[in-house]
Structure 1
Amino acid sequence: MYDVLFNVLTSEFGLDPDTVTPRATLENLDLDSLTMAELGVILAEQAGALITDVSPNTTLEELAELLETKAARPPAAVTV
């Protein structure tokens, strides 16, 4: 899942591949709240996981692990 994240950050957002490392935080990469929201939408489309609980101090490694966990979970049942 880190590969997906890396590709999105470098191709969609034009970040320098040398700065996109597993230990980099979203803040280190200068991603503001609007960009993080856009990243969340793109990752939901490409990885099938909606990520809403990240902070600027989240590392890319942590985000990739969160994506893997959420993508592996079956969707919650809808009750009416």
Structure 2
Amino acid sequence: MSSLHDSVVEVFVARFDLDPEAVVPEATFDDLGLDSLSQIELATALKKRLGIVITDDELSEIAVVGDIIAIAERKGAAV
């Protein structure tokens, strides 16, 4: 896994108290027991940790953890 992947997993674990083993690229928010409000909380946490801004439109397109990693890569997240 990439260091960016690890950083995204760390955000999920720290913010939502999840098991790191559960935060895999194909996991959905439902799989992780998170609701739509959690997406907003995640966007805020990613901004603080990685310095990226995820727009509302981008949030609405996120289906799995891998989508978040892809957005972070596209935006040149600071790992």
Q: Same fold (TM over 0.5)?
A: yes
Aligned match of 2:59? 54
> Which structure has more helix as a fraction of its residues?
2
When the two structures are aligned, how many residues end up with a matched partner? 72
Moved over 4 A (4+): none
Unaligned runs of 5+ in 1: 73-80
5+ unaligned residues in a row in structure 2: which ranges? none
CA distance in 2, matches of 1:12, 1:55: 20
TM-score by length of 1: 0.74
The AA in structure 1 aligned to 2:69 is: A
Q: Which moved more, 1:54-63 or 1:11-20?
A: 54-63
Identity between Structure 1 and Structure 2 (%): 35
Q: Indicate the structure (1 or 2) with the bigger Cα radius of gyration.
A: 1
